[in-house]
Amino acid sequence: MNGPLSVATIIAALVLAAWYLLRSALNRAPSRYDLLGAAALTALVSVLLITAVFGLFDGSRPSDTVTFIGYLITTIAFTPVAAYLARLEPTRWGSLILGVACLVIPVLVLRLQQIASVTGA
Amino acid sequence: MPEASTRPRDAALGSGLGRVLLLVYGVFALSASARALVQITTKFGEAPLAYLLSAFAGLVYLSATVGLAIGGVRGRLIALVSCSIELLGVLVVGILTTADAGDFPDDTVWSHFGSGYGYVPLVLPFIGLWWIWRHRPQPGDPVSV
């Protein structure tokens, strides 16, 4: 959970967030490529979370498994939901929705790291 | 008689910026409520006051989201009351936790002015109140209920 993969996810999310906020500031609706970028971020997050789920089985359980799983579900669902909402809103505000979502993702990943590192053992 | 399907002009659901605002409010409603639910179901005895406060905060965010979303006279009232409670809550709990952590043994969304949530809980009620103020009824507006 603390590997280079989560650092890569956080950086990718922040870079995308900056891009979407810029697009919104320039009054651009989310383009096809913007939505593809969100899909790529979702893929990256999925890989990270699958690794985290496998980590659950190697004995180092987080102290608070319920919260951990709750965060897992939220994190994996977040970008797809935001991308769906952004498609419904083909204005600059759609880009802002994507930007906000990409700012939330690093927070979720950091929280997951925190919960995972406080092991119950 | 006005058409039932017409959305009030000030409903946040009806404009792009409003939808972004609703997304942020919705995220906070979800995270505060989910957190309170986990705290109350797994370790309520440890800090009942803080956990009940978490649950209350979650409900306030929820009603603010709904109020802002539907708009109209009733929505405005719900949103105004919720955002005011939210502002009071974050200020009072923020001051209490900063002055004396003894009364709040565990963190809530509003502890230390929401520092655990990037101070967004401190800013959010102002944005909500600004939204309500900006969409206040103008003389000559069609009355929307």
Locate B121 and state its tokens: 């809980």
Question: Domains of chain B: which residue ranges?
Answer: 12-134
C-alpha pair distances (Å), A27 with each of A98, A113, B8, B19: 14, 35, 26, 16
Q: Which of A66, A93, A101 sits opposite B19 (nearest CB)?
A: A93
HSE-CB for B7 with a 13 A CA cutoff: 11
* ipTM confidence score: 0.78
pLDDT, residue A95, reads 94
Chain B within 8 Å of A3 (Cβ-Cβ)? no
Contact B127/A at CB under 8 A: no
- CA geometry: angle A121, A108, A8, nearest 5 deg: 95
A93 and B23 in contact by Cβ < 8 A?
no
Determine the average pLDDT of the residues in B9-32. 87
Question: What is the band of B102 on the pLDDT scale with cuts at 50, 70, 90?
Answer: low
Per the CB < 8 Å rule, is A94 touching B16?
yes
Q: Which residues contact A55 (CB under 8 A, 6 or more apart)?
A: A1, A116
Of all residues in chain A, the percent with pLDDT exceeding 90 is: 57
The whole-chain average pLDDT of chain B stands at: 84
What pLDDT is attached to residue B143?
59
Residue B23 at interface with chain A, using a CB cutoff of 8 Å: yes
User: How far is it between the farthest Cα atoms of chain A?
Assistant: 51
CA A77, B55, A53 angle in degrees (round to 5)? 30
Q: Chain A within 8 Å of B46 (Cβ-Cβ)?
A: no
Distance in angstroms (rounded) separating the CA atoms of residues A71 and A64: 11
Contact B23 A100 (CB under 8 A): yes
- Whether residue B27 lies within 8 A of chain A, CB to CB, comes out as yes
pLDDT digits (tens, 9 = 90+) for B61-94: 999 999 999 888 899 999 999 999 999 999 988 8
User: What mean pLDDT comes out for the span A39-68?
Assistant: 83
Residue A121 in this model has a pLDDT that exceeds 50: no
